[in-house]
């Protein structure tokens, strides 16, 4: 079963999607930087989904996830 996009925003070359997988009820935030050609996917787990959607780099930083510059 395909993931469903619950929210989407685009600004200054960044695309951010909040995705839901109905099969396992998992949420993830996908960030695509079109300028650099890189993507980052963050499982939302116990995080606030909208916080992760609006502030994905802050959530990645709190988790110690490396983000390409």
Predicted local confidence at residue 22, as pLDDT: 95
CA distance 36 to 7: 23
Predicted local confidence at residue 47, as pLDDT: 67
Predicted local confidence at residue 61, as pLDDT: 87
Residues of the chain with pLDDT under 70: 47, 67-69
**Helix H segments across the chain?**
49-54, 56-63
């Amino acid at each position: 079963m395909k993931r469903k996009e619950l929210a989407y925003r685009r600004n200054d070359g960044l695309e951010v999607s909040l995705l839901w997988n109905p099969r396992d009820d998992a949420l993830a935030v996908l960030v695509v930087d079109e300028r650099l050609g890189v993507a980052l996917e963050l499982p939302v787990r116990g995080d606030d989904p909208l916080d992760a959607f609006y502030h994905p780099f802050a959530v990645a930083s709190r988790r110690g996830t490396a983000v390409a510059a």
